[in-house]
Structures are given as C-alpha cells and as structure tokens.
Chains A and B, each alone.
Chain A
Amino acid sequence: DVKVTQSSRYLVKRTGEKVFLECVQDMDHENMFWYRQDPGLGLRLIYFSYDVKMKEKGDIPEGYSVSREKKERFSLILESASTNQTSMYLCASSLGQGGVYEQYFGPGTRLTVT
C-alpha cells in the first residue's frame, strides 16, 4: 500500500522560530509537493520537486523554502514563522511528470504559530 507520511500531525510554534516539516514517501516517486490548505482558499501549491536537489516554486512560495536531499524525503522550511503561516500543510508525491498524474497525499500537519 502506498504511503506518504508527515513528521507531525499537530505543531505549535512561536513567531520567529525556524520550523521544519518533514515528508517521506515509500513509493519511489520522482515528484513531491507541498501545499497549504486554508478555509475558503482550497489547496495552494507552495513548492514542488521533480528530482533530488531540484525544486520549483509554486503559487505561494514566499516565506518558505524546501530541501530534497534524498528521493524519498521532502522538507518544507519556514525560516522565521509568522502567524499568517498558521495553516494545514499537506505533502504529496506522484510518479509521472505533469499534473495529470495521480498525487498521493499525506495526512497533513496542522501548524499553529503563536
């Protein structure tokens, strides 16, 4: 059974802290994604990666960075957390190049920044 896991289900951080959200997939997928999900706004793509050490900005990359040192692991980094980054963060992976390929999502991390 395919699996995408995220390091935490719930996280509470203070303004200004550096925050790491980790995502691991066991499907040998080339592509990995980070989204944030907010009420009324749906899912918005932050960053994606199509290969190890490769990354591309999505729709809302400001305030975030990512790291992909190994194929199975994709990290989202908030360099200095702010309250407007309080959100649900979802990681996903897919096999093929292009948005048409099925994405497999993790359970999400609900981040609260106080």
Chain B
Amino acid sequence: SQTIHQWPATLVQPVGSPLSLECTVEGTSNPNLYWYRQAAGRGLQLLFYSVGIGQISSEVPQNLSASRPQDRQFILSSKKLLLSDSGFYLCAWSLGANSYNSPLHFGNGTRLTVT
C-alpha cells in the first residue's frame, strides 16, 4: 500500500532563518506531488505541484521554493523565513498520468511557527 511521510511535525524558526521541509511517498511511481499551506485551520492554498522529477509549477509567488530531486521526494524550502510564512504545511500525492479521478492523499502536516 502507498504511504506518505512528512517531517518534521512541528518546527519553530526565527525570522530570517532557512527552511527545509521534506516529503516522501512510498508504494507508487510517478505520482503527482503537491505542497499546500493552511492558515488558521481553514482553507487550503496550493503552493507548488509537480508532475515529475525536476518539474515544479508555482501557484503563488513568494519566498518559498520547491524541488523534486527524486521521483517520490518533494522538498519545500526557503532561504529566509518571514513571519507570514507561519502556518500548517501539507504535502500530498495523487496518481499521475492525467488520472483525474484519483483523490489526493495527504501527509500529517508540519506546523511551522516563525518567531
């Protein structure tokens, strides 16, 4: 069966420090991968998505970046965190190859607090 791992679960970082959040998927190949941010426990904001290694699409311009160095690894980064980067970050995967009827499967999220 497929599983998704996201870490760390919680993170407290000072303003201006770098960030690296990692997500890995097991049990499937060529997944579509997604990074979302959820503010105040409500709506989801899509940050990045990827259909393959090295292929990253950004939805919202900001000081965050994403990379996909391996098929099942998705990394969210920042060189300098802002207070506004605080939030709950969720990684997700779905079947690739235009599998429109595939649901998204989410990790357990990372609670980031920038102080």
Q: Please indicate whether A and B come from the same complex rather than being unrelated chains.
A: no
